[in-house]
Chain A
Amino acid sequence: MELFVFIVAGLMVIGGAIGVLVRTHPVHAALSLILTLFGVAVLFVAQDAQFLAAVEVIVYAGAIVVLFLFVIMLLGIDRAEDLHIEPFKIQRPVAIAVGAGLVSLLGLAVIASRTHPVPVVTPSDAVAAAALDPHDGNIRALARDVFSDHVMAFELTSVLLVIAVVATVLLARKPRKGETYIASGSTQ
């Protein structure tokens, strides 16, 4: 059963990825991305990371990709890109080489370390206790972990989000009369 789930989800992931790669129309590419994200979410569930699967769908597929689509539609840049022309002759060969290299080397590393002993980490008592809950063990354990061991990181990421929002508002607002765009560097 898990094998079946893995194969289907894997196909979704790879298929969506290749779709992002080759679809000329940006909206089609965005939809392929959603397919990938769904596949990844399924794989998360298969790994007993249910909370993350939910977050993946809600945040990634539901917010980030929607944001992409908003921008595409609002700016009206949904023209299809011609993938046959490539101004830099060297770019495609390098890209293929890099891709092949990455896959082969990472795969080599992974396969070679199959038999290595796996370090087993003992979770802290609170986390271990929380994980024992039969219904939401994963969420409880994750919550215990985030809010006790990594609470500092949590606070900092919230600050980061605020900064990001403020920055983007400044970046993207229309200039008032007499003001120059903040993001200068015109491409006129």
Chain B
Amino acid sequence: MLDVVWLIPALPLAGFLCILLFGRKLGDPKAGYFATAMVAGSFVVTVGVFFDLLSKTAEQRHHVTTLFQWVPIGSTHIDLAFLADPLSLTMCLFVTGIGSLIHLYAVGYMHGDPKFSKFFLYLNLFAFSMLMLVLGSNMLVTFLGWEGVGTCSYLLISFWHAKDSAATAGKKAFITNRVGDWGFMMAMFFAFWAVGSLDYSVINGAAAGLAATTATAIALFAFVGACGKSAQLPLYLWLPDAMEGPTPVSALIHAATMVTAGVYLMCRLSPVLNVASGYAPTIIAVVGAATALFAATIAVAQTDIKKVLAYSTVSQLGYMFLAVGSGAYTAAIFHMVTHAFFKALLFLGAGSVIHGMHHEQDMRRMGALRKLMPITAITFIVGWLAIAGVPPFAGFWSKDDILLAAYDKNIFLWLVGLITALLTAFYMTRQVIMVFYGKARWHDAHEEHGAAGDLGVGAAGDLGVGAVGDLKPRESPWMMVTPLVVLAVLSIVGGGLNLPFKTTTEKLASWLEPVVGSHESTTSKLPLALVAIAIGLLGIAAAYAVYYFKKVKAVEPAILADAWHYDAAVSAFMGGPGRKAFDGVAWTDVHVIDGAVNGSGGLVRGAAGQVRKLQSGNVRNYAAAIGAGVVLLLVWFVVIRGLL
């Protein structure tokens, strides 16, 4: 089965090509089911490869399948090759698994949209790119996937491109990603220069011999790329705006898969990071912790159901980088997996709510949906408990591993992580209360606006609801609800992957150990776990007090709602000093570089013009020239050559 590992990305690619040619003919919903089948097939192959890999011993779990020589460079070449090892298989499993669930969900969500088949076209292309990214055995294949997911992200965010904000958000995502891509490219250049190959096995094998500065450069530049892709400070600003895309896109790309690519990259290069100078992991950990706290503070004041989840994603990604920076790669991956489960669940649940509310996204106009959308509510609550870190749900175990690693690194990082956990519990509880409990507030909204769904230009929202003003939210169809249930189950049992009680229960750690090494901690786990649980419960209680019982007044300052005016600051910088810098660079290009090139042309022309005067066309001048030449020759022969 290992030899057909290439099928894993090939199936979505085939899906993409088929839908490209026949998508319109297949239509709604066959195109969607076809796309889902392709990704589900990928999942099946992944499971097969996974079992094949399991049957090998730990040292042998490293299989490279080369398809063809891709880029010949002098005496070496870069292959299009896939690496099947524990890390890539783990990523593939949840990418294809959750991917197929979300594809199924999207069939229901996008029903009625005029560009239905195009949506699945892009989704399959995304699946292909993501799988190339994860399965690549060298940095160039990963980069291919990296760019591919960036492009698909742009295509999918601006799916409803007639809407200005969506188009702008797509551009913002692409451009910000590009800045990060520069970092990735610099890392590739350094790696190739230092090691002579872009192959992971070669780079990681040679990591021990790398100079500390080179390793630091590679690691930090790769981290810049990761910041762009995984929305860390300062390049996070595309992720909240990316919520303009349809909810399945937010779930798949911006919660479960694409944004984890940065974490994946850092884990893949973990041997290099391990030999880098001490300040490199510290920088990563600090950036991760700062982002986590920063985003959590913003999420407290958001009113759009999806924006809360977006900032929550940024915050949880910060946790993952905190783990990477503390050297606990397994914890980062564990949290990545559980986060994929519950964040996808939360997004899909939010999508179900939005769908049922006819594309109403403002939480202030929701409420009391628990009775009307029971399955959505229950699954959403499961996701809420998971993210808040309540045992035995999955999020508690992974977050606890990270906090333990942070405590080992630096107590301040641990404190920041703890405060973030408090805020996470707080804002998620706030969201649950605002959406599912309390009074039904949507009637007021519809009397105000008089129109159903003023936020989405796309899907027709006529699912059995009557005229304007008579909105009655109802549960979503089976294809949307089934993934929710599956993900809820996974969020409950997902913690079992890496229970910290004994070494034998730490299954994920031992599985990943050949790739990312192990991280032992001397701190005892129980006290820290108890503190984390207490903090989580405190956050939940505080949110209840403010929003449910209304004992304490809600504090949602405008500065938090506006994300600490970060966007405005970036625009001001880019418009002002940034623009001057860019204009300067453009001026240099036109006048200095082009000037040099054109100038040398002009110089040659001028010189030629001068030399041209020799060709006067006049015989006597030519005779004079010949005479002068003869005299010079005579000088050479008689005087210099010494016929004297």
Contacts and interface: CB of A to CB of B under 8 A. Distances in A.
A98 B624 contact: yes
B643 interface: yes
Nearest to A105: B634
A101 B630 CA distance: 9
Nearest to B631: A101
Interface string B279-318: 0000000000000000000000000000000000000000
Contacts of B643: 109, 112-113
A94 B627 CA distance: 9
Given A94-B628, A112-B643, A101 B621 contact: no
Interface string B132-162: 0000000000000000000000000000000
Contact of B621 (A88, A97, A98): A88
Interface in B445-493: none
A109 B635 CA distance: 10
A108 interface: yes
B620 interface: yes
A98 B631 contact: yes
Nearest to A88: B621
B554 interface: no
B620, B638, B643, most chain A CB atoms within 10 A: B638
Contacts of A106: 634
Contacts of B620: 88, 91
Interface in A86-134: 88, 90-91, 94-95, 97-98, 101-102, 105-106, 108-109, 112-113
Interface string B615-626: 000101100100
Contacts of A101: 631, 634-635
B644 interface: yes
A52 to B, nearest CB: 26
Contact of B631 (A91, A102, A112, A113): A102
Nearest to A112: B644
Contacts of A95: 624, 627
Interface residues of B, number: 15
A101 B620 CA distance: 18
A91 B628 CA distance: 11
A108 B624 contact: no
A148 to B, nearest CB: 34
Nearest to A86: B620
A95 B628 CA distance: 9
Q: Is the interface of A mostly helix, strand, loop or mixed?
A: helix
Given A88-B621, A91-B621, A98-B624, A108 B630 contact: no
A88, A98, A112, most chain B CB atoms within 10 A: A98
A39 B631 CA distance: 27
B630 to A, nearest CB: 7
A140 B386 CA distance: 127
A113 B618 CA distance: 38
Contacts of A98: 624, 627-628, 630-631
A112 B642 CA distance: 10
A101 B635 CA distance: 9
Contacts of A112: 638, 643-644
Contacts of A90: 624
Contacts of B627: 94-95, 98, 102
A74 B573 CA distance: 90
Interface residues of A, number: 15
B638 A109 contact: yes
A6 to B, nearest CB: 25
B624 A94 contact: yes
A88 B630 CA distance: 21
A90 B618 CA distance: 13
Contacts of B639: 105, 108
B634 A88 contact: no
Interface in B189-245: none
B629 to A, nearest CB: 9
Contacts of B635: 101, 105
Contacts of A97: 628, 631
B548 to A, nearest CB: 105
B622 to A, nearest CB: 11
Nearest to B625: A94
A99 to B, nearest CB: 8
B308 to A, nearest CB: 88
A102 B627 CA distance: 9
Contacts of A105: 631, 634-635, 638-639
Contacts of B637: 109
A54 to B, nearest CB: 32
A95 B637 CA distance: 21
Nearest to B633: A105
A91 B622 CA distance: 10
A102 B634 contact: yes
Interface in A45-99: 88, 90-91, 94-95, 97-98
A91 B627 CA distance: 11
B589 to A, nearest CB: 45
Interface string A137-153: 00000000000000000
Contacts of B638: 105, 108-109, 112
A114 to B, nearest CB: 12
A175 B635 CA distance: 49
Given A88-B621, A109-B638, A109-B643, A102 B630 contact: yes
A105 B643 CA distance: 11
B583 to A, nearest CB: 51
B643 to A, nearest CB: 6
Contacts of B628: 94, 97-98
A60 B625 CA distance: 28
Interface string B431-442: 000000000000
A75 to B, nearest CB: 18
A90 B628 CA distance: 12
B613 to A, nearest CB: 11
B370 to A, nearest CB: 104
A102 B630 CA distance: 8
A13 B201 CA distance: 94
Contacts of B631: 97-98, 101-102, 105
A102 B634 CA distance: 8
A106 B627 CA distance: 13
Contacts of A88: 618, 620-621
A101 B644 CA distance: 16
B636 to A, nearest CB: 10
Contacts of B618: 88
A88 B622 CA distance: 12
A173 B51 CA distance: 102
Counting from the closest, the 10 A-B pairs by CB-CB distance are A98-B627, A101-B631, A105-B634, A94-B624, A112-B644, A109-B638, A105-B638, A98-B631, A108-B638, A109-B643
Given A90-B624, A98-B630, 13 more contacts: A88-B621, A94-B627, A95-B624, A95-B627, A98-B627, A98-B628, A101-B631, A101-B635, A102-B631, A105-B634, A105-B635, A105-B639, A109-B637
10 contacts: A88-B621, A91-B621, A94-B627, A95-B627, A97-B628, A98-B624, A102-B631, A106-B634, A108-B639, A109-B643
